[in-house]
């Protein structure tokens, strides 16, 4: 049954990506991976804040893509932390994520620069 729900969720992500047209389906898959990464990092079973999610995105991107993170995100159509906010709130609208009363799209506004975090701030050989 779990496989069916994953297939259904993937189908929904593909539909969202196609209908919206701004971001690749890969960016949505990565967002869910980063959500799990953030939940583990901040020891939360469910909800993480926008800032915590962005820290999870940063950490997972550096772990998976290193200094190529910015290029990968740009290939997916993601150019800033604001784009991740747009994605999150599209997923909320479609019922794939939930939010609290205090969650706001502004929580994602210019939290960090991809250049600063993924290029200038990248430390070769360091653990994330």
pLDDT tens figures, 68-123:
999 999 999 999 999 999 999 999 999 999 999 999 999 999 999 999 999 887 77
Q: Look at the alpha carbons of 42, 86, 66, 63 in this order and tell me if their dihedral is positive or negative.
A: positive
Does any domain span residue 92?
Answer: yes
Interval 50-69: pLDDT, tens: 999 999 999 999 999 999 99
Does any domain span residue 96?
Answer: yes
Does any domain span residue 27?
Answer: yes
The number of domains in the chain is: 1
Does any domain span residue 126?
Answer: no
Identify the domain containing residue 41 by its residue range: 2-120
pLDDT given for residue 1 in this prediction? 39
Does any domain span residue 63?
Answer: yes
Does any domain span residue 125?
Answer: no
Quote the pTM value. 0.90
Q: 62-88 in b/e burial notation, b at 16+ Cβ within 10 A?
A: beeeeeebbebbeebbbebbebbbbbb
Does any domain span residue 67?
Answer: yes
């Amino acid at each position: 049954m779990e496989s069916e729900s994953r297939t259904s969720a993937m189908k929904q992500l593909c539909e969202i990506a196609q209908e919206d047209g701004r971001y690749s389906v890969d960016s949505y898959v990565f967002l869910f991976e980063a959500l799990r990464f953030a939940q583990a990092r901040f020891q939360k079973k469910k909800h993480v804040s926008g800032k915590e999610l962005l820290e999870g995105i940063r950490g997972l991107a550096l772990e998976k893509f290193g200094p190529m993170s910015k290029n990968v995100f740009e290939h997916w159509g993601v150019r800033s932390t604001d784009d991740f906010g747009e994605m999150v709130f599209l997923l909320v609208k479609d019922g794939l994520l939930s939010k609290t009363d205090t969650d706001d799209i502004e929580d994602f506004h210019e939290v960090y620069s991809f250049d600063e975090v993924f290029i200038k701030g990248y430390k070769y050989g360091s653990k994330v």
